[in-house]
Structure 1
Amino acid sequence: MAADGTRFTFTAGRTPENTFAVVGFTLKQSLSSLFCLDITVACNDPAIGFKQVLDEMATLTIHEGEVVRRRVRGIVTFCEQGDTGKHQTLYTMTVHPEFWRSSQRQNCRSFQNYDIAYIFAKLLKEMDIRTHDTLFRRPHPEREFCVQFIETDYEFISRLAAEEGIYFFEEEYLKENAQKLTFADDSSVLRSLGSLPYNPNAASESSTYCINTFRRSAQIRPAQVTTQDYTFTAPGWPAQYNEYGRKLAYQRPEYEIFDYPGRFKDEQHGADFAKYQVEGWRNNVDFASGTSNSPQLQPGRRFALTDHPREDLNDVWQVVSCVLTGSQPQALIGSSGQGTTLNCEFHVIPAIQTWRPQPLPKPLIDGPQIAIVTGPAGEEIYCDEHGRVTVKFAWDRYNKANEESSCWVRVSQAWAGTGFGNIAIPRVGQEVIVDFLNGDPDQPIITGRTYHAANRSPGDLPGTKTQMAIRSQTYKGAGYNELMFEDQTGQELLSMHAQKDMKTVVLNNRMTDVTANHSENVGGNQAVTIARNQVQSIGANQMETITANQVLTVGQNQSETIGTAKKETVGLLSALTVGLAYQVSVGGVMNTSVALSQSSEVGILKSLMIGQKYSVSVGKEMAVTVGERKTESVGKVSQHSAGDHLELSCGKAKIVLTKDGKIFLSGMELHIQAVTAVNSDALLINLNCGTTTPPPSAPQGNNGGNSGTNDNPLINY
């Protein structure tokens, strides 16, 4: 034991408290790294089992008399049995903090919409790292998608911490089991050790803690950082941030680190990442190093240097790293010589500066991956307003295959314009090819789709190998829309299938050429609207069959030209209504045949002109009724012939001719006037002798003449 009473004790695992005697140790510590305690101990037991100490808690305690000055706790990660002497056996062990466990698990997983405090806590809890603290003074927003890809938990946490300007250290307390892993982003949270005087003449065994040596240093580092990125949600956003470092008096300011992609999608992260990077690159621009006999110097502490001859060094400094070396050779039975010694080599920076880790490399995915599109239960198509979908990666062992299995993933389309292009949303359950922008696991993008054994292509390959098809599937149904090309020689075909409706809009002209036949079937109704003209030309015959009714409406004129003959058959009735005029012109012969009845009604006038002959044949009866006047003019000859009875009547006057040659004239008066002569020839002429006979009536009930004798008292010749 040293004159000041300094001594070291060590306990490990499930061994009794006084099993080991410390011979010597080296404790290496620095901010944002795992401390490493290499310790050599002596033990009376030559056969300590590794199982008793490995992966178990161990504690190094530094005493000053009965006062505990330092306690370092961790887990034993290495144990080696050394030489065995007459009384003791040497053991060498390596102790790391509990946080070291996170370096032994490599993983692939993703976190969505969580900040780093949550991510850190979850990973540490899973690795049974019982206590930690997050002393944050700056905002650390949630991350939409944060991927750990083929990284250990320790590498993942360290990388995220560096991106966010966070450093970590082991916060030690003198109470047993009170050590705590601490994350911080500002130097104001560091605990103070008080003052340490500068004393270059003090020996390592001095009972007064002091600074023995202190060397100030400066170096050139990058002067500025510019970060830039791109986000599709704000394509016009410059997304560029520049940050200069402090204390540039020693160097040129144009030493620049340009980082692309900057891995930020918002202003908060963009500005902060540039600041954190430049402070990380310049974390050792202005520093000091030295030695001390204090066991309490450790990363995460600050102290005030006093009594230095250079006044500007008498300031507050924070410890960045240190190497604490202790020797206690008297722990070996039978040893002699030097007693307990303790020495600390350290690096410090001004306490006003917040130390930040330098940026750490991010894992790159060097090729595309396969994933399955996911969505809520029962949903077939699940996307957002940008057409993005969620996917389940094959390496993801944690997230369920649902709408929360990943972030929204953009989908590459064959063509993407402003309001035009093509769009095909991958459906739930389909296999897709996922690539990553700049190889960044946090930026997946779907670049293709693939079939697999359970998700086969349309058709029956290889039998349909000559077919190329674009086929959709009815949403929550069994139908489909399809455009199919058949390229088999001699069987070339373009086929289009619409599961329900089909709509075609042509803003200008449309031309369709069919070299052979054209067949069109309409199961329901068809409506065709033509704004202006329609021309239809048929090379040979046309046949049109209408099962029920046809209505044809012509707004103005209709012209129909038939080269040879026209035949029209109406099964029952035919009606023709003409609003003003109706004309029929027949170049040769016109024949109208009516099986039963024909009726013709003319509202005002009817004119009939016949070039040569006009013949009317009536099978039985013919009746002509004229309301007021009838005029008949014959150029040369007019003949009226009746087989049995010919009658001409006007009021009470009547002339009747019968087939037996009789002529009857009947009226109130008879006037015969001749300019030259009246000739009358008969065998007998009777006048006023009661021999006249009244005109006979027309056969079949037609009107006849009056019956009775001729009472005319006078006949003028």
Structure 2
Amino acid sequence: MASDGTRFTFIAGRTPADTFAVVGFKLKQSLSSLFSLEITVACNDPAIGFKAILDEFALLTIWQGDVIKRRVRGIVTFCEQGDSGKHQTLYRMTVRPEFWRSSQRQNCRSFQNYDIQYIFAKLLKEMRIRTHDALLRRPHPAREFCVQFMESDYDFIARLAAEEGIFFFEDEYLDDSDQKLTFTDDRCNLRGLGAFPYNPNAASESSTYCINTFRRSAQIRPAKVTTKDYTFTAPGWQAQYQEEGADLSYQRPDYEIFDYPGRFKDEQHGADFAKYQMDGWRNNVDFASGTSNSPQLQPGRWFTLTDHPREDLNSPWQVVSSEISGNQPQAQIGSSGQGTTLTNRFYVIPATQTWRPTPLPKPLVDGPQIGIVTGPAGEEIYCDEHGRVTVKFAWDRYNKSNEESSCWVRVSQAWAGTGFGNIAIPRVGQEVIVDFLNGDPDQPIITGRTYHAANRSPGDLPGTKTQMAIRSQTYKGNGYNELMFDDQTGQELLSMHAQKDMSRIVNNRDAFWVGENQLMHIKGENHLRVESEKRDLVKEDYSLTVSQTLHIKTEENMLIVNGSEYHVKAGSKVTLDAGCELTLQAGGNFIKIDASGIQTSAIVNMGMGSPGKGTEWNGQLPDELTPSQGKLTLGKNKAESSDMTVRPELEEDICLECMMNSMREDSAIVGGN
């Protein structure tokens, strides 16, 4: 449609302001997307260098007379030199918003305990986007762990914005000659344009902005959203939220979107995400399309339609998208045809509705990754009350290798029961295998541990390939505890090493069977307390060697039965002390001592015969055990017995009378003659 007084100007890069004349353009804009301006210009210079234009700012201005009605500012992302005529050369360019630069950066990084306002601001600052607004009315709590994984900065921001029910657009401020990237979560933050009359005959009033066509539409969309998730900190929490559409009068209510995992770990995010998804899936249930001669109808604005013959359409509408086509053929020297025209094709929804983006897919991690366990400087084991640790991912170029390198990451254990199972905390500096629940980069979990060139396994592979070991390391020390199995044929071994103490509790029966020998070496004391009965059976010899004193005490009787000989030999003296009676009996003769006196058998030979001799002591010392590098080394199989110092044999026999005299005198020495 012709627009009296409408004209277009264009400036690009480092070229003078009057370098280009606009021949035509097409501007496509919509909420939560990057606008695209395709423009054709004529220029007297046939050889403008791309260096002066590409990645530089450009400005399209739409005038009505001398009044600016619209500005579109961006950067030139494409430039093509077209045909050259006698006087002019055509150039085609594509202009995108400054925010488009974020689509050219793909990254992997993580944010911990930050809300999306902080995340957006940090990324936009890194991209040197000059100004932006965050007009947020709803709460957007911080996220424990938020990962950008193999996605562009733009895709990352757009995805988070969709999850949080936030939409964005380029907002223009004509009075300040400014254009801002604006984020908002509520329709109340949109600016109004006032009333636009409906006029299907634009030719009669071309100088007045109006609506030429307006068509209302409706369609069936999902009726409700149900989201569900799980968090280990509240395993009994239902973690399910449901949101139904606002107006279901012309469709069935059982069109449901079920979303698992719902990507929330708390009630605030759970309830909000369900609502935002519902609004996103139904953002085009009730909409209208139309055409206008106004360049001001753009996403992020609302207007009131008037003078439409259908009264219920004369109400406020919010612009969701627009496509503005402008033609200015007279910019080419020698061209003929109509003058400047501008047509705006737009889509709108009722202004009472907050438009939200449809949920966007989240990138998935293809498989497990390698991580290095981290912690504070000087700490070897760093975990929380759940046994979680922090890790440094190989793709992380921003976080340092310390306790803030990641969120707390859960560790898979071989067995996990209520108060029982096994626990092994990965230590700082160790390499671990990190998987991701449902492929979600925000939910890492350690599923394994691996050795590498600088962190070798115990033993000396492949020489110790038959050994399987569980070896720990002393905390901030060089010791270790170990349980080792060796499956070498003919040398099978189960070995256990305790660096310091070892404790064992058996609540009922403890039984073990040794097929050959049992060797035990105790360098300190050995205490044994049996509260009931103790039985020992030795089928061959039993050697007991005590370097100092052997104490034996019984509360009742002590009974010793020998099949052949009982030999007691002392180096100095033997004392037999009986409270009531002492009897020596052999060969049918006896000596009995009691309170009544000393009684003997009928035959007493005084000064005759010689003493009997017992078998000499021939006991054996135990084999020696020497701990060496966690293994026990055996000494010689049969240790030589140590010599015992004994009193020499008497030169003369002792008579009975002399012995009786010594006993009456309580003397330890028996005098002769």
| Both structures adopt the same fold (TM-score exceeding 0.5) | yes
Cα shift at 1:506: 0.5
Amino acid of the structure 1 residue aligned with 2:107:
N
1 or 2 for the larger relative contact order (CA 8 Å, sep ≥6)? 2
Cα shift at 1:570: 3.4
Please show how residues 553-592 of structure 1 align to structure 2 within 5 Å: 553-572=553-572, 581=580, 586=585, 588=587
Question: Could you say what secondary structure the match of 1:274 adopts?
Answer: helix
Alignment CA distance shift 1:519-1:621 (3 Å): closer
Alignment CA distance shift 1:138-1:619 (3 Å): same
Cα shift at 1:626: 9.5
2:350 corresponds in structure 1 to: 350
Kindly tell me the number of residue pairs found equivalent between the two proteins.
Answer: 618
In the alignment, does 2:13 pair up with 1:10?
no
* TM-score with structure 2 setting the length: 0.88
Alignment CA distance shift 1:346-1:572 (3 Å): farther
Inter-partner Cα distance in structure 2 for 1:257 and 1:82: 49
Amino acid of the structure 1 residue aligned with 2:239:
A
Question: Could you say what secondary structure the match of 1:172 adopts?
Answer: strand
Cα shift at 1:554: 2.8
Conserved? CA contact 1:204–1:343, under 8 Å: no
Cα shift at 1:102: 0.4
Inter-partner Cα distance in structure 1 for 2:3 and 2:274: 52
2:303 corresponds in structure 1 to: 303
Conserved? CA contact 2:44–2:89, under 8 Å: yes
Please show how residues 463-542 of structure 1 align to structure 2 within 5 Å: 463-542=463-542
1:330 corresponds in structure 2 to: 330
Inter-partner Cα distance in structure 2 for 1:231 and 1:114: 19
Alignment CA distance shift 1:202-1:513 (3 Å): same
In the alignment, does 2:621 pair up with 1:613?
no
Gaps of 5+ in 1: 593-599, 628-643, 645-717
Inter-partner Cα distance in structure 2 for 1:337 and 1:500: 99
2:378 corresponds in structure 1 to: 378
1:253 corresponds in structure 2 to: 253
Amino acid of the structure 2 residue aligned with 1:193:
L
Amino acid of the structure 1 residue aligned with 2:603:
K
1:213 corresponds in structure 2 to: 213
Inter-partner Cα distance in structure 2 for 1:396 and 1:408: 16
Conserved? CA contact 1:26–1:39, under 8 Å: yes
Cα shift at 1:543: 1.2
1:152 corresponds in structure 2 to: 152
Cα shift at 1:254: 0.5
Inter-partner Cα distance in structure 2 for 1:48 and 1:621: 139
1:284 corresponds in structure 2 to: 284
Inter-partner Cα distance in structure 1 for 2:587 and 2:605: 16
Conserved? CA contact 1:302–1:316, under 8 Å: yes
Cα shift at 1:117: 0.7
Inter-partner Cα distance in structure 2 for 1:37 and 1:562: 114
Conserved? CA contact 1:3–1:205, under 8 Å: no
Inter-partner Cα distance in structure 2 for 1:523 and 1:625: 43
2:88 corresponds in structure 1 to: 88
Amino acid of the structure 2 residue aligned with 1:18:
D
Inter-partner Cα distance in structure 2 for 1:227 and 1:50: 50
Inter-partner Cα distance in structure 2 for 1:590 and 1:292: 142
Tell me how large the CA RMSD over aligned residues is.
2.3
Alignment CA distance shift 1:100-1:601 (3 Å): farther
Alignment CA distance shift 1:233-1:601 (3 Å): farther
Alignment CA distance shift 1:116-1:583 (3 Å): farther
Inter-partner Cα distance in structure 2 for 1:88 and 1:395: 51
Alignment CA distance shift 1:322-1:532 (3 Å): same
Question: Could you say what secondary structure the match of 1:120 adopts?
Answer: helix
Amino acid of the structure 1 residue aligned with 2:447:
T
Please show how residues 671-686 of structure 1 align to structure 2 within 5 Å: none
Cα shift at 1:210: 1.0
Alignment CA distance shift 1:566-1:281 (3 Å): same
Inter-partner Cα distance in structure 1 for 2:198 and 2:573: 129
2:62 corresponds in structure 1 to: 62
1:456 corresponds in structure 2 to: 456
2:105 corresponds in structure 1 to: 105
Conserved? CA contact 2:301–2:318, under 8 Å: yes
Alignment CA distance shift 1:586-1:362 (3 Å): farther
Gaps of 5+ in 2: 607-654, 666-672
Alignment CA distance shift 1:358-1:555 (3 Å): farther
Inter-partner Cα distance in structure 2 for 1:591 and 1:180: 124
* TM-score with structure 1 setting the length: 0.83
Cα shift at 1:621: 8.3
Question: Could you say what secondary structure the match of 2:202 adopts?
Answer: coil
1:368 corresponds in structure 2 to: 368
Alignment CA distance shift 1:87-1:455 (3 Å): same
Question: Could you say what secondary structure the match of 2:565 adopts?
Answer: coil
Conserved? CA contact 1:26–1:325, under 8 Å: yes
1:116 corresponds in structure 2 to: 116
Cα shift at 1:576: 6.0
Question: Could you say what secondary structure the match of 2:226 adopts?
Answer: strand
Question: Could you say what secondary structure the match of 2:276 adopts?
Answer: helix
User: Based on CA coordinates, which of the two structures has the bigger radius of gyration?
Assistant: 1
Amino acid of the structure 2 residue aligned with 1:70:
R
